[in-house]
Amino acid sequence: MSLNLTQKIIKEHLVSGEMIAKSPISIRMDQTLTQDATGTMAYLQFEALGVPRVKTELSVSYVDHNTAQMDFKNPDDHIFLQTIAAKYGIVFSRPGNGICHQVHLERFGKPGKTLLGSDSHTPTGGGIGMLAIGAGGLDVAMAMAGEPFNLKMPMVVKVHLTGKLQPWVSAKDVILEILRRETVKGGVGCVYEYSGPGLETLTVPERATITNMGAELGATSSIFPSDDETRRFLKAQGRENDWVELVADADAKYDRVIELNLSEVVPLAACPHMPDIVKPISELEHLAVDQVMIGSCTNSSYADLTKAGKILKGRTVHPRLSLGIAPGSRQVLRMAADEGTLADLVGAGARLLESACGPCIGMGFAPKTNAVALRTSNRNFEKRSGTDSAQVYLVSPEVAAVAAVEGKFTDPRKWVSYPEVKMPEKFTIDDSMFIFPPEKGDDIEIVRGPNIAALPIKEEMGAEIVAKALIKVEDNITTDHIMPAGKYLPLRSNVPEYAKHVFEGVDKEFYNRAREMKKGVIVGGDNYGQGSSREHAALCPMYLGVQAVLCKSFARIHLANLVNFGILPVTFKNPEDYNQVEVGDELKINVSSFDGELTVENLTRGVKFQVVHTLSDEDKVILKAGGRLPYAKKQASA
């Protein structure tokens, strides 16, 4: 049987189920990664499972989100993460070592392996030929405990690349072009698999930019073959022995095919406030810019910073704006320093930020009021930058650097000669900022600060849900809408405190209403829960008594997180029934059986309508138990 690349890796790791599109399957995970904004909760959950050591080939705990240490909360979380990593056999990447996805690509990614990460941009690993999937922290905790990861067998979309990128056009423009065509929900339930003669023109970091931002399609993952280019990258990282060739069979079948001629791609920008609102730079020319940020897990590689340095060398940042540079890793920062790139950037007036996520998640370098901000990151959701009124555009490092000099949007193809950058034959390798765990962790004492609160556990689900509609929201509600990040990130390990900010930017009275009603239902539109993998967008509503979410459609990771925390996720059979519910209506849902459709009775309005679900048999059992953690503990005790 001929197989595509995605099917080959899944077949090698399949634990249960059949490789039939949309059917439930379980796969073995070789590696896991966490970052500190999601990791503290993930490791509290792993600890609650009572497993003495992780059972994966490799698990890495990165600190890259909450690095601004304004008080004790973040450093307390970091020492907790460091000690729990030592105890349970996890590699710890210290603050300053870099962004998890960039560092993992450099030092740990292996073609053909599976990777599960508690961050939605984990598919970055697909740039090196991994099947890398983002998930909630509880799913990652279960994978570390040796449990398989449950998902629906994805459909596989072939992206056939031809041609070659023209000067001033980058990998960022490639994924923006795909987003323009596919939209932020076009990839739900899919893996995007890249192929064609255009592959050989793209380096591994360029491929990783594309797979990283494939998350904005709503895709399960994105993946490139492991070829000679992959081998060159791994050799330059001193890891040639990790290389294996991995390509699709010549006659492999796909669910859909996208044709993309790289020669025809032009410089693009994602406009406020969604990554799929894409326009050519030529249509935005002369729009004044107030801030530029080059960095994030999407575009902070050696080549990205070197190109920016060549553009800015001998020039000065326009007086209108502020330019921030955030290298993706310590490796990138050291090479930029050694080769003079850092001097060129700082000499031009750039502000050097930490090798961390920072501005992308609203943790520092916020724009001014009503600012037009150009960023090389992957999301431009409203208010995510830390400034409610900011207009954030997503662009390539080349477009960002030119705008930093010009003070406005400028089509870079009209500018001076293009800054060619060759990939180094050898990267600077220094793994001293990793702390590798001891063989045994029995004697390690886990250090817990006062901000680390106990895990909230939901009670078992009864035969029916009777609760009022707490809020009604529109389409494309993101996890940033549900659980704001930025200044609230230090509360990630303290659910009772973090829960005070659920839907804060959408409805400031939500928390008080939820506390008063004690139980409730959320009503939403299409693509509910898109964006970050943050499980707190399910965990904190669960803590506030949310019993169910009724919407038109769900984003993949959030749907799984709702099940994990015992919240019933259902969709309107008839989308028009969204209009049958308003805030304050009392709803009754019979959940004595999950077979077939469920009936929702609006007791306030005297109407009934049907809702449907995509729950597997295991999902149903997990929901009845009150969530995956109580279900797992119940299984263990039995």
- Which of the following is catalytic: 534, 556, 558, 628? 534
360 in helix, strand or coil?
helix
Verify whether residue 64 is a known catalytic residue: yes
Verify whether residue 119 is a known catalytic residue: yes
- Which of the following is catalytic: 296, 329, 493, 532? 532
For 55, left (φ over 0), alpha (ψ -120 to 50), or beta?
alpha
- Which of the following is catalytic: 119, 139, 577, 619? 119
**Of the candidates 77, 87, 71, 92, the residue with the CA atom closest to the CA atom of residue 40:** 77
Structure token digits, residue 530 = 């898109």
Cα dist from 328 to 106, 151, 352, whole Å = 11, 30, 12
Which ranges in 214-257 belong to alpha helices (H)? 228-236
- Which of the following is catalytic: 13, 36, 61, 65? 65
**Of the candidates 199, 207, 176, 190, the residue with the CA atom closest to the CA atom of residue 248:** 199
Verify whether residue 534 is a known catalytic residue: yes
Structure token digits, residue 216 = 């904005």
CA pair distance 622, 33, nearest whole angstrom: 24
Q: In which element (H, E) is residue 16 found? A: strand 14-16
Which ranges in 73-146 belong to alpha helices (H)? 73-88, 100-107, 137-144
- Which of the following is catalytic: 101, 104, 375, 379? 379
Distance of CA 638 to the CA centre of its chain: 35
Concatenated DSSP letters for 392-408?
EEE--HHHHHHHHHHSB
Q: Please report the sign of the dihedral spanned by the C-alpha atoms of residue 116, residue 301, residue 4, residue 173.
A: positive
**Cis before 121 (ω within 30):** no
Taking only Cα atoms into account, the Rg of the chain, rounded to an integer number of angstroms, comes to 23
Which ranges in 427-531 belong to alpha helices (H)? 479-482, 495-498, 510-517
- Which of the following is catalytic: 36, 53, 61, 64? 64
Structure token digits, residue 452 = 């680390």
Which residues neighbour 474 within 8 Å (Cβ) at sequence distance 6 or greater? 524, 525
Verify whether residue 101 is a known catalytic residue: no
Which ranges in 14-153 belong to alpha helices (H)? 36-49, 73-88, 100-107, 137-144
Q: Which residues are catalytic?
A: 64-65, 119, 379, 532, 534
